Amino acid sequence: MKQEKNPLKVMAVVVFVALIMVTGTIAYTNFKNTQKEQVQGQSDVKMQDVTVKVTNNEEPTQSYTVKYIPNQSALDLLKELQSQNTDFTFEFSDSEYGAFITGINGYSPDTKTAFWELKINGRAAEVGVSAYQAQPGDVLQFSITKIDSNY
């Protein structure tokens, strides 16, 4: 005795299988697009610039950009900027506390009365130029600052 197949049941199974296939395809496509966005976001961060601004109190603020490279100090970025841009020069001296900026673009303040202050994203740096690990999108501001004579 041969069983007859109910066409309604067959159609329901075909629709169910097709629905599972479509849902799986959509889920897989969304997963792949999310992965691409995450990788793109990571590469964008690696390629962001760091801005270096210099104010010497005699000329308008000068602004430069240098490519962000992971695990570099602000000092490393200044060296990189100097090697890439003939309009930017700086000098520094080493001390037991790290590098001390002594001149930028030909301006060297009298170290008894002033110094090159570093601000990072608008805030006074809590560490020196050789200790600060630059981050993508940072703005490093160097300006000549007078030493408070009350100290």
pLDDT of residue 142: 96
**Which residues are paired to 146 by β-bridges?**
114
Radius of gyration in angstroms for the set of CA atoms belonging to the chain, rounded to a whole number: 30
**pLDDT tens digit string along 73-123?**
999 999 999 999 999 999 999 989 999 999 999 999 998 999 999 999 999
Share of the chain above pLDDT 90, in %: 56
Report residue 124 as tokens: 């006074």
**Which residues are paired to 107 by β-bridges?**
104
Note if the pTM is more than 0.85: no
d(CA 122, CA 42): 25
Fold of 48-146: Ferric Hydroxamate Uptake Protein; Chain A, domain 1 (2.170.130)
Main-chain dihedrals φ then ψ at residue 145, nearest 5 degrees? -125, 135
pLDDT of residue 46: 46
pLDDT of residue 33: 66
Q: What is the DSSP letter of 3?
A: P
Q: Where are the domains of the chain?
A: 1-47, 48-146
Share of the chain above pLDDT 70, in %: 80
